[in-house]
Structure 1
Amino acid sequence: MGLFNKLFGASTDSGAGEAKQENVTPWINLTTIEQLDEIVERSKTKTQLIFKHSTRCGVSRMVMNHFKKEYKLSENEADLYYLDLLNYRSISAGIAEKFQVTHESPQLLVIKNGVVVAHDSHSGVNNLELGKFV
């Protein structure tokens, strides 16, 4: 069962009687094209992030796992949206049109005051210094 837990991220006992605490990523599922207008509006008062992920891509999975492990912003600092590209491909096309950013996967967009102020894809996602955008 140990390999199964490692693969799927189950909590493990640290040996001291305490469960290992995982970093919880505050995802907001991006599932409707109308949410893009909400993101633009919210970006006027709080940084908005969109993480685009392909659930069939190993590179995307590795980038997302690293991103989740290192994500440090609080829900007061930024809203973090998760887009499942396989189920919501049309929303990805809407993002490309609305924000004038070429579609890539995985991809992270940082939105402030209605515009993308930073974005990157693949391993560059984890190189973005998100703290400077809040």
Structure 2
Amino acid sequence: MEKISSVDQFNEVLQNEQEFFILKHSLTCPISTAAYKACQSFTNNQDVKFVYVPIQEARETSTHIAEAFNTRHESPQVFHVKNGEPVWNTSHSRITEKALKEASNR
């Protein structure tokens, strides 16, 4: 997984990747740590672009993503993005490797 911290980095991924996942990750929350591990496991078994935003280091970027995708900020929160638009998202303990696999097959 690739760490992104700026709005510019987010916009670059959004413009250059046809499909990707993005995780908004809290560095201090145990639920977010579990979600991060599920995302890592998912990426080890899938050929898909996956980026994450550490919200404590990149609050502006996290807020920008919520606004860009017209969603309420949550953490942890993951989005599956295709052609610049979120096609699926979930948060907290619903972020599992199984849920990510199911989302990737949509």
Query: How high is the TM-score relative to the length of structure 2?
Result: 0.84
> Who is 1:111 aligned against?
81
Hey, what's the Cα distance between the residues in 2 that align with 1:111 and 1:50?
8
Greater share of residues in strand: 2
**TM-fit CA distance, 1:63:** 2.1
Alpha carbon RMSD of aligned pairs, Å? 1.6
Hey, what's the Cα distance between the residues in 2 that align with 1:36 and 1:65?
21
Hey, what's the Cα distance between the residues in 2 that align with 1:112 and 1:69?
21
- The alignment covers a number of residue pairs equal to 102
Residues 49, 111 of structure 1: 8 Å contact kept: yes
Tell which deviates more after alignment, 46-55 or 88-97: 46-55
Q: Pick from 33, 56, 59 the counterpart of residue 86 of structure 1.
A: 56
- List structure 1 runs of 4+ shifted beyond 3 angstroms: none
Matched position secondary structure for 1:35: helix
- Higher CA-based Rg: 1
Residues 119, 125 of structure 1: 8 Å contact kept: no
**TM-fit CA distance, 1:113:** 1.1
**Identical aligned residues as a percent:** 28
With over 3 angstroms needed to count, the CA separation of the structure-2 counterparts of 1:67 and 1:37, relative to structure 1, is closer
Greater share of residues in helix: 2
